[in-house]
A and B are shown apart, each in its own frame.
Chain A
Amino acid sequence: MRSRRKAVAAVPESVPESVGESGADPVARYAAALDGALHGPRAAKARLVEEVRGGFEDTVAAYEDEGLRREEALQHALDEFSSPDDLAPSCQRELTVAQARHTARSVVRTAPFLAGAWLLVDTAREPAHPAHQAAQLLAVHLAAAACLAVFAAAIALAVTGSLVRRAGTPQWLPKAMAWTGTAASVCTAAAALTLAITSLMSADWVIVAGAGALAAASHALVAGSARACRRCARLPIAEPAGIARLG
């Protein structure tokens, strides 16, 4: 077995101030820098950063066990892990998929709200004025578009989950999910606004306003997640490199 000592011999002895300086714990600083470089669902990001931080501490401890000083051990661990900026794209890849799945789940969760809104509009009496009829029809069509987004989101969840175990996630999928979520968000917002205005002129204003409230709830579920997904989809990602070196 090749010991860590062999790898140590190939690394310059100088320890840059980046890891050797006194004050804040360098491991905590590394984790904070990585945390700052990553974007994605809060829980998934916190977990990934905590795991990397733990691995970093384990690596430092292994070098210290071999007799290196703390500063040297930190430098060698940094060489193994690479800088937070270099590591971020391979971590971001998984977080971008996690954000796409989060957005897809948010879109899927709007399905009952949209179904409810549709049913309420269906039970409301036909508005007398043609303009009101058109507005109600528009709301129904917007809700239908949002339902298509729900269908697309369900497919995205299947493609990125256990149904497709070994096939890689298509690179365009997070971006597609971001814009699907955005479309659902815009449609539900427009439907909510249209139904709110229609309710003012409708004989069954309570029912129409209720449908509008359900559409607004759908918008609230999706909007933030879709925005976060668009940001993640713009970030650089990289395939995990896997093998660092062959002896």
Chain B
Amino acid sequence: MKADAVRGHLDGLLLAVLEQGPLHGYAIITAVRERSGGVLDLRTGTIYPALNRLERVGLLGSDWDAVGERRRRAYHLTDAGRASLAEERSSWREFTAAIGSVLDPAGHVRPAT
């Protein structure tokens, strides 16, 4: 699989790992890696501007947590973020079903419309 195949799904990945509860940036990267069985490795530095953008458009909220002498920003899903994640999931299922029905017509049952 090429990295291009998952380009454009960064927002969905970030929203999905925050569904269970608040996480800070590094924990989000770890969660994506674990949930993908080690297949997806987010580019570490660029995740922070992406999280900032999702917060700006109201899909995430955040709070500073004190960790010893340091502070970490923990992000959580907003209601709008949950709704957006549901949309993202739905469109991903439609997309994979459509691609699957073309690439593997024998093994793929097209969902009833």
Listed in ascending order, the chain A residues whose CB lies under 8 Å from chain B are: 1-3, 7, 44, 47-48, 50-52, 54-55, 57-59, 62, 80-82, 87, 90-91, 93-94, 97-98, 160-162, 164-166, 240-247
- Whether A94 and B33, one on each chain, are in contact in the complex, defined by CB atoms closer than 8 angstroms, is no
- Whether B7 and A242, one on each chain, are in contact in the complex, defined by CB atoms closer than 8 angstroms, is yes
- Whether A165 and B59, one on each chain, are in contact in the complex, defined by CB atoms closer than 8 angstroms, is yes
With a cutoff of 8 Å between Cβ atoms, the chain A residues found around residue B59 in the complex are 165
Q: Counting chain A CB atoms within 10 Å of each CB, which of B7, B37, B56 scores highest?
A: B56
Q: A47-B73, A90-B49, A240-B43 are in contact. Are A161 and B24 (CB under 8 A)?
A: no
With a cutoff of 8 Å between Cβ atoms, the chain B residues found around residue A44 in the complex are 52
- How many angstroms from the CA of A246 to the CA of B46 in the assembled complex? 16
- Whether A242 and B50, one on each chain, are in contact in the complex, defined by CB atoms closer than 8 angstroms, is yes
Beyond A87-B46, A165-B58, A244-B44, 5 additional pairs, beta carbon < 8 A: A44-B52, A55-B25, A82-B45, A97-B56, A247-B40
Q: Could you mark each residue 16-50 of chain B with 1 if its beta carbon is under 8 Å from any beta carbon of chain A, else 0? A: 00000000111001000110011111111111111
- Whether B10 and A246, one on each chain, are in contact in the complex, defined by CB atoms closer than 8 angstroms, is no
Q: A48-B52, A243-B7 are in contact. Are A54 and B44 (CB under 8 A)?
A: no
- Whether A54 and B71, one on each chain, are in contact in the complex, defined by CB atoms closer than 8 angstroms, is yes
Q: Counting chain A CB atoms within 10 Å of each CB, which of B11, B40, B57, B58 scores highest?
A: B57
Closest residue of B by beta carbon distance from A95: B49
Q: A2-B33, A161-B57, A242-B46 are in contact. Are A50 and B3 (CB under 8 A)?
A: no
Task: Say yes or no for B102: interface residue by CB 8 A criterion.
Answer: no
- Closest-CB distance, A67 to chain B (whole angstroms): 18
With a cutoff of 8 Å between Cβ atoms, the chain B residues found around residue A87 in the complex are 45-46
**How many chain-B residues does the 8 Å CB contact rule pick out?**
41
9 chain-A/chain-B pairs, Cβ below 8 angstroms: A2-B41, A44-B52, A48-B49, A80-B44, A94-B49, A94-B52, A242-B6, A243-B40, A244-B41
Q: A48-B49, A94-B52, A161-B58 are in contact. Are A246 and B26 (CB under 8 A)?
A: no
- Whether A247 and B46, one on each chain, are in contact in the complex, defined by CB atoms closer than 8 angstroms, is no
Closest residue of A by beta carbon distance from B8: A242
- Closest-CB distance, A53 to chain B (whole angstroms): 9
Q: Counting chain A CB atoms within 10 Å of each CB, which of B41, B45, B47, B57 scores highest?
A: B45
- How many angstroms from the CA of A165 to the CA of B26 in the assembled complex? 24
- How many angstroms from the CA of A152 to the CA of B72 in the assembled complex? 36
- How many angstroms from the CA of A20 to the CA of B44 in the assembled complex? 21
Q: A59-B44, A240-B49, A244-B41 are in contact. Are A1 and B34 (CB under 8 A)?
A: yes
- Whether B26 and A55, one on each chain, are in contact in the complex, defined by CB atoms closer than 8 angstroms, is yes
- Whether B24 and A54, one on each chain, are in contact in the complex, defined by CB atoms closer than 8 angstroms, is yes
Closest residue of B by beta carbon distance from A241: B43
- Closest-CB distance, B41 to chain A (whole angstroms): 5
With a cutoff of 8 Å between Cβ atoms, the chain A residues found around residue B6 in the complex are 242-243, 246
Task: Say yes or no for B84: interface residue by CB 8 A criterion.
Answer: yes
Task: Say yes or no for B108: interface residue by CB 8 A criterion.
Answer: no
